[in-house]
């Protein structure tokens, strides 16, 4: 994407790398067993930020933490599941989502190896990367879902609240649809230029306009 922002896709799942002059931050870690390939692409990792507790996002966090010693950050609502290696509460599926879930979850374990969560993140927290990474607590997809906003760079990491699969859309497999719609609308108001989604291609320019267009059509 840019010299400081990269998307990696490992075994079909995606994560992001943010490079400052003095540190490297991973946003999510893909599915279990992805650590070696991630470390081959990103030999030095200084921190790991998890957008939520689903296994396709936290799966290799334990492997990467053990290999690098990088601290792990996660939303408070999902932190206990992440540190104990248990599943977060299940989604409330809409009928049309069920065959999609059955297809994409083939071969994906229900849980990830446990990993210490060094800091539980809440709304308004600011992390020391990207010129000040602002945390937004956006429950809905999961209780502990977070987004990461880098206002100095116009970059937003949405987690699975927003997807870009063929088109920008509300993320699927949510615990609470109404909360997820409210979270989507909150992220739309940030007017980020670049959006990095949990699933689907990032938008490198003009993301805010597209996200707002879709937000205006959503109903809980």
CATH number at 158 reads 3.60.15.10
Do the beta carbons of residue 39 and residue 61 sit within 8 Å? no
Tell me if 108 is assigned to some domain: yes
Compute the mean pLDDT over every residue in the chain, rounded to the nearest whole number. Answer: 97
**pLDDT band at residue 136 using 50, 70 and 90 as cut-offs:** very high
pLDDT value of position 167 = 96
Assigned domain for 210 exists: yes
Tell me, yes or no, whether 220 lies in a domain: no
In a domain, 125, yes or no: yes
User: Is residue 85 in a domain?
Assistant: yes
pLDDT-based confidence at residue 114 (cuts at 50, 70, 90): very high
Flag whether 150 is in a domain: yes
Compute the average pLDDT of residues 31-35. 97
Position 163 in a domain: yes
Please return the burial class of 195, using the count of CB atoms within 10 Å of its CB with bins 0-12, 13-18 and 19+.
buried
CB 161 within 8 A of CB 215: no
Classify residue 133: in a domain, yes or no.
yes
Which residue range is the domain that position 196 belongs to?
5-215
pTM exceeds 0.85: yes
- Domain count along the chain: 1
């Amino acid at each position: 994407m840019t010299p400081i922002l990269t998307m990696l896709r490992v075994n079909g799942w995606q994560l992001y790398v943010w490079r400052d002059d003095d540190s490297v931050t991973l946003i999510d870690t893909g599915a279990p067993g992805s650590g070696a390939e991630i470390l081959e692409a990103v030999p030095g990792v200084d921190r790991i930020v998890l957008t939520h507790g689903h296994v396709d996002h936290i799966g290799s966090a334990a492997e990467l933490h053990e290999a690098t010693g990088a601290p792990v950050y996660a939303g408070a609502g999902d932190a206990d599941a992440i540190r104990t290696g248990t599943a977060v509460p299940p989604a409330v599926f809409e009928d049309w989502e069920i065959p999609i879930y059955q297809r994409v979850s083939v071969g994906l374990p229900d849980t990830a190896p446990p990993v210490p969560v060094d800091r539980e993140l809440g709304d308004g927290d600011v992390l020391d990367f990207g010129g000040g990474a602002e945390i937004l607590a956006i429950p809905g997809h999961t209780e502990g879902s977070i987004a990461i906003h880098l206002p100095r760079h116009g970059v937003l990491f949405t987690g699975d609240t927003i997807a870009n699969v063929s088109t920008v859309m509300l993320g699927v497999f949510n615990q609470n649809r109404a909360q997820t719609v409210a979270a989507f609308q909150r992220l739309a108001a940030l007017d980020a230029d670049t959006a990095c989604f949990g699933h689907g291609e990032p938008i490198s320019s003009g993301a805010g306009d597209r996200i707002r267009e879709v937000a205006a059509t959503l109903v809980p």
